[in-house]
Amino acid sequence: MSQIKLKLKKGDQVVVISGSEKGKKGTIVRVDRNTSRVVVEGVNMVKKHTKPSAANQEGGIIEKEAPIHISNLMFLEGETPTKIGRKLEGDKVVRYSKKSNTIIK
| Model pLDDT for residues 38-64, shown as the tens digit of each residue | 999 999 999 999 999 998 898 999 999
3-state secondary structure of 46: strand
Distance from C-alpha of 93 to C-alpha of 38, rounded to nearest angstrom: 22
What pLDDT, on the 0 to 100 scale, is given for residue 4?
76
Instruction: Domain 13-79: give its CATH architecture.
Output: Roll (2.30)
Candidates 81, 79, 83; CA nearest to 101 is 83
Question: Using DSSP, how many helices (H) and how many strands (E) does the chain show?
Answer: 0, 11
Q: Is 65 exposed, middle or buried (0-12, 13-18, 19+ CB in 10 A)?
A: middle
Whole-prediction pTM: 0.83
- Whether the pLDDT of residue 1 is over 60: the answer is no
